[in-house]
């Protein structure tokens, strides 16, 4: 594959936040504009849900106190911050983390994902990925010239508190020579959380077939129901030999503007990730690293309140969705996404998404970003102002009526 | 090449800032410790030469005024900041820059280098690189599985204000099917600046043989002598069809802790770079992007003073070096590096570098990072406190005496 073909496959025009780059076409628009405040469901609104209190203040204080010494940290991140986070993440995930060998600070969780993929996927390697799952998983396998082996997640039919991952298909994939399996838990875009049994099965199979695991736990602090269990693979007896967990404070905690993430796990892979970081961007911004110190040290009750606010938005959006015939979404168990299935429409999903933006002032992400077969879905990040979001999802339903087949 | 081999070649232990990761060995140490303040010549001291005044204030003000809206910018960077920089860079480099299509903001200039290389180098592509030049150039070609075609720069024998690049060798390389040529100007590590004729010849040859050019101009604002001309390839008639220029405020302007860089040039390549950024780290930190607004808007006289301070350090270090028999460095014409040649020693360059750190409290980078043949060189970044640096280079000379063959 030459470089032109490689980039032709690495499309971003439909990716969240990139909608402004799409070219205008003549469209068979039906009806007038529907008035309402602009809502961009492609990512969270960090003005509606602001960063952890004190984050800017920590940034300024560390900049002032430490002077500019922290401009140049080790490529894997500043030692004091790695030690702080190793302790917090060990307590959080239920298994120890060595701050010297088992953790790397990265520019956002995306940075951790990229470095881990670059460290684990060689040309021609088979990589199992869940469908549906985060769209960049697929793009990264392609970029590193691996071979995608899809594994279905039957979230639509699965019992509550299970993801519905097809474990037989997973074992078949592993048996066929897969080198790496990556999955997000809670799942992006469906909001399904894997059951303890599912996570244990993933670990057991990975151990049996010597498959490396990349666990994306970005949204794992935002779990809605009291009876929901969240399972960290790294704390289980079934923990595989090669395991990297990635996470960061960009979502629930709204620190996305600082670009902070972590990868933690198998020392050999962390070392590779650091080697790669050394040529990619050297390090996570030295000044921004200080804002990590607010993560896992939020004011008392702050996280609970944030999660409760999101639960309320989820419930109120679902109430609107459930009134629209043919519209359906599984109630999000973790994270800020609703993966909304639409009834048959007169237009394709890209046109519908465009019309929503142009006519109804609402931006959503087409389901095809998460797997070609999801051409009747859109993803919505409901980390938004409550009232604006409720109104916007009402406008989406109005658009569904207009364009219903 | 499998992934293990790939990473075995991507060594970082001798890279600047990573010295703490080296294992202790039993060493044939001669003599006692030489007292003196620790000086780390592997990178600049941003406490001795602090960031552009007002950078932190801009960060805080934009964070407050814009609220958290700038957390999510387009992958290529926030529009207002791209427009600001496009205007400044057009004036600086002498040719227009379209803010919509010809510029991308990146996490440091390293980020721009990585994205440009990833966008221009496919597996098996021949890439011409200068020897000596920035160590990551070589690593990036290897990471993207290109083939390195070295081109010698005879800076030791070259006339003042010329780099001494071997233009015949460059043409031979281009003729052999090279796809990309990259060069840093001022050259890292030697501090040589390319003459207008040399830069024009590069452009002419690139046009003739359809070679893409990546021009690293990171240090181009720090030129020491009044009679020195600096030539931006992009402003010449000989400008090649595919050209990316990279730069950033991390060095002379000391904003390295914010991780800010830019790539600008051929729209098609900028688009690829953005696609790649979308999977690497999404964007240059949204909050940090605001600090770009201080770049090229420094207080009057501030840049002139900064350059003059560095010139004084350069001259005073050279005075010490020139008194030590067998030690030699070409006077830096641009940038903050001295590439110091040492006389024959009883120990190899890695041992010498370690002894300097352990015995003399001075960190330098072994010349082999810039090409295997430079095993009698060390690189020093002299953006340091003047007095400490003069003392430290004196200690290096003392170490040379101890270990002289």
Q: Which residue in B2, B10, B136 is closest to A122 by CB distance? A: B2
Over residues B33-89, the pLDDT tens digits come to 999 999 999 999 998 999 999 999 998 888 877 656 688 899 999 999 999 999 999
**Cα(B319)–Cα(B323) distance, integer angstroms:** 7
Please state which of the four CATH numbers 3.40.50.2000, 3.40.50.720, 3.40.50.300, 3.90.1150.10 is assigned to the domain occupying A3-50+301-403. 3.90.1150.10
Q: With a cut of 0.90, is the ipTM above it?
A: yes
- Flag if B282 and A139 touch (Cβ within 8 Å): no
Task: Return the closest-CA partner of residue B382 out of B391, B373, B374.
Answer: B391
- Flag if B12 and A123 touch (Cβ within 8 Å): no
Reported CATH class of domain A55-294 = alpha beta
* Run of H or E including B82: helix B79-93
Closest residue, chain B, to A70 (C-alpha): B257
Decide: helix, strand or coil at residue A165.
strand
Over residues B206-233, the pLDDT tens digits come to 999 999 999 999 999 999 998 999 999 9
On whether the CB atoms of residues A217 and A246 are closer than 8 A, the answer is yes
Q: Compute and round to an integer the Cα radius of gyration of chain A.
A: 21
Instruction: Kindly list the distances between the CA atom of residue A350 and the CA atoms of A52, A341, A367, B18, B271, in Å, as whole numbers in the listed order.
Output: 35, 14, 9, 48, 21
**Cα(A381)–Cα(B3) distance, integer angstroms:** 36
Amino acid A291: pLDDT = 95
**Do the bridges between strand A39-40 and strand A362-363 make them parallel or antiparallel, or are there none, so unpaired?**
parallel
Q: How far is B160 from chain A (nearest CA, A)?
A: 32
Name the token pair of A357: 């933006």
B288 touches chain A (CB under 8 A): yes
- Flag if B256 and A18 touch (Cβ within 8 Å): no
Output DSSP code: residue B330: P
For A24, left (φ over 0), alpha (ψ -120 to 50), or beta?
beta
Average pLDDT, chain B: 94
Over residues B190-211, mean pLDDT: 98
A287 touches chain B (CB under 8 A): yes
- Flag if A143 and B276 touch (Cβ within 8 Å): yes
Q: What is the pLDDT along chain A (405 residues), one digit of tens a residue?
A: 788 888 887 766 666 666 555 555 566 788 999 999 999 999 999 989 999 999 999 988 888 776 566 888 999 999 999 999 999 999 999 999 999 999 999 999 999 999 999 999 999 999 999 999 999 999 999 999 999 999 999 999 999 999 999 999 999 999 999 999 999 999 999 999 999 999 999 999 999 999 999 999 999 999 999 899 999 999 999 999 999 999 999 999 999 999 999 999 999 999 999 999 999 999 999 999 999 999 999 999 999 999 999 999 999 999 999 999 999 999 999 999 999 999 999 999 999 999 999 999 999 999 999 999 999 999 999 999 999 999 999 999 999 999 999
**Cα(B65)–Cα(B331) distance, integer angstroms:** 46
| For chain B, percent of residues with pLDDT exceeding 70 | 95
A359 touches chain B (CB under 8 A): no
B28 touches chain A (CB under 8 A): no
**Cα(A390)–Cα(A378) distance, integer angstroms:** 16
Give Dmax (Cα) for chain B: 63
- Flag if A70 and B272 touch (Cβ within 8 Å): no
Task: Return the closest-CA partner of residue A274 out of A244, A232, A296, A247.
Answer: A244
Name the token pair of B84: 């600001």
**Which chain B residues are Cβ-neighbours of A17 within 8 angstroms?**
72, 74-75
Amino acid A61: pLDDT = 86
**Which chain B residues are Cβ-neighbours of A123 within 8 angstroms?**
1, 123, 145
Task: Return the closest-CA partner of residue A118 out of A249, A288, A287, A246.
Answer: A246
Whether the predicted pLDDT of B297 surpasses 80 = yes
Q: How far is A23 from chain B (nearest CA, A)?
A: 14
Q: Which residue in A12, A18, A282 is closest to B108 by CB distance? A: A282
**Cα(B222)–Cα(A387) distance, integer angstroms:** 53
Decide: helix, strand or coil at residue A104.
strand
Output DSSP code: residue B198: H
On whether the CB atoms of residues A287 and B250 are closer than 8 A, the answer is no
**Cα(A185)–Cα(A217) distance, integer angstroms:** 5
**Cα(B300)–Cα(B308) distance, integer angstroms:** 14
Chain A to chain B Cβ contacts (< 8 Å) = 197
B287 touches chain A (CB under 8 A): yes
Whether the predicted pLDDT of B13 surpasses 90 = no
Over residues B245-282, the pLDDT tens digits come to 999 999 999 999 999 999 999 999 999 999 999 999 99
B273 touches chain A (CB under 8 A): no
B257 touches chain A (CB under 8 A): yes
Q: Compute and round to an integer the Cα radius of gyration of chain B.
A: 21
**Which chain B residues are Cβ-neighbours of A253 within 8 angstroms?**
none
Output DSSP code: residue B77: -
Strands, E assignment, B126-230: 126-131, 147-152, 180-184, 212-216
Instruction: Kindly list the distances between the CA atom of residue A17 and the CA atoms of A22, A253, A337, A363, B84, in Å, as whole numbers in the listed order.
Output: 11, 19, 15, 9, 21
A275 touches chain B (CB under 8 A): yes
10 Å CB burial of residue B47 (0-12, 13-18, 19+) is middle
Q: Could you tell me the pTM of the whole model?
A: 0.95
**Cα(B100)–Cα(B83) distance, integer angstroms:** 8
Over residues B336-340, mean pLDDT: 98
Name the token pair of B362: 């001075």
Amino acid A26: pLDDT = 60
Instruction: Report CA A10 to chain centroid distance, whole Å.
Output: 18
A272 touches chain B (CB under 8 A): yes
On whether the CB atoms of residues B25 and B355 are closer than 8 A, the answer is no
Question: Which fold does the domain B68-294 belong to in CATH?
Answer: 3.40.640
- Flag if B285 and A1 touch (Cβ within 8 Å): no
10 Å CB burial of residue B323 (0-12, 13-18, 19+) is exposed
Amino acid B10: pLDDT = 78
On whether the CB atoms of residues A214 and A117 are closer than 8 A, the answer is yes
Domain layout of chain B by residue ranges: 3-50+301-403, 68-294
Task: Return the closest-CA partner of residue A188 out of A379, A385, A382, A396.
Answer: A379
A386 touches chain B (CB under 8 A): no
Strands, E assignment, A51-146: 103-106, 126-131
- Flag if A285 and B15 touch (Cβ within 8 Å): no
On whether the CB atoms of residues B366 and B342 are closer than 8 A, the answer is no
Over residues B14-25, the pLDDT tens digits come to 666 665 555 555
Over residues B114-163, the pLDDT tens digits come to 999 999 999 999 999 999 999 999 999 999 999 999 999 999 999 999 99
Name the token pair of A141: 């396998």
Residue whose tokens read 């790695």 = A82
Which of A110, A263, A281 to mutate against chain B (most B CBs within 10 Å)? A281
The residues in B 94-153 lying below 8 A from A, measured between CB atoms, are: 106-108, 110-111, 114, 119-123, 125, 136, 139-140, 143, 145
**Cα(A78)–Cα(A84) distance, integer angstroms:** 10
Task: Return the closest-CA partner of residue B245 out of B89, B83, B87.
Answer: B89
Alpha-helical runs (H) found in B187-266? 196-209
């Amino acid at each position: 594959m030459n470089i032109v073909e490689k980039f032709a496959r690495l499309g971003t025009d439909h990716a969240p936040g990139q909608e402004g780059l799409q070219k205008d076409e003549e469209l068979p628009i039906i009806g007038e504009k529907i008035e309402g405040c602009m809502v961009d469901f492609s990512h969270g609104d960090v003005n509606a849900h602001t960063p952890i209190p004190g984050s800017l203040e920590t940034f300024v204080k560390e900049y002032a106190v430490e002077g500019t010494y922290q401009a140049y940290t080790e490529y894997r991140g500043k030692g004091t911050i790695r030690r702080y986070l190793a302790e917090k993440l060990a307590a959080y995930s239920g298994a120890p983390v060595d701050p010297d060998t088992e953790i790397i600070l990265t520019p956002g969780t995306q940075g951790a994902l990229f470095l881990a993929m670059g460290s684990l996927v060689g040309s021609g390697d088979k990589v199992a990925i869940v469908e549906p799952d985060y769209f960049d998983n697929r793009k990264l396998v392609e970029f590193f010239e691996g071979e995608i082996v899809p594994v279905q997640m039957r979230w639509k039919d699965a019992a509550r508190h299970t993801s519905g991952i097809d474990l037989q298909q997973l074992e078949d994939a592993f048996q066929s020579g897969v080198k790496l399996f990556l999955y997000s838990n809670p799942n992006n875009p469906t909001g399904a959380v894997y059951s303890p049994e599912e996570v244990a099965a993933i670990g057991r199979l990975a151990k049996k077939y010597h498959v490396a695991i990349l666990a994306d736990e970005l949204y794992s602090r935002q779990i809605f129901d009291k009876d929901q269990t969240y399972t960290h693979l790294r704390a289980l007896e079934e923990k595989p030999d090669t395991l990297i967990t990635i996470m960061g404070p960009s979502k629930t905690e709204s620190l996305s503007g600082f670009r902070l993430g972590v990868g933690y796990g198998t020392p050999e892979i962390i070392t590779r990730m650091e080697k790669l970081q050394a040529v990619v961007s050297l390090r996570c911004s030295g000044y921004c690293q200080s804002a990590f110190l607010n993560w896992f040290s939020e004011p008392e009750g702050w996280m609970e309140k944030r999660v409760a606010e999101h639960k309320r938005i989820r419930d109120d959006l679902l109430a609107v969705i459930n009134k629209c015939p043919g519209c359906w979404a599984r109630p999000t168990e973790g994270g800020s996404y609703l993966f909304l299935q639409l009834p048959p429409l007169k237009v394709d999903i890209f046109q519908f998404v465009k019309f929503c933006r142009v006519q109804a002032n609402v931006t959503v992400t087409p389901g095809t970003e998460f797997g070609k077969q999801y051409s009747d879905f859109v993803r919505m990040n409901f980390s938004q102002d409550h009232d604006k979001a409720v109104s916007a999802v009402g406008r989406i339903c109005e658009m569904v009526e207009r364009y219903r087949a």
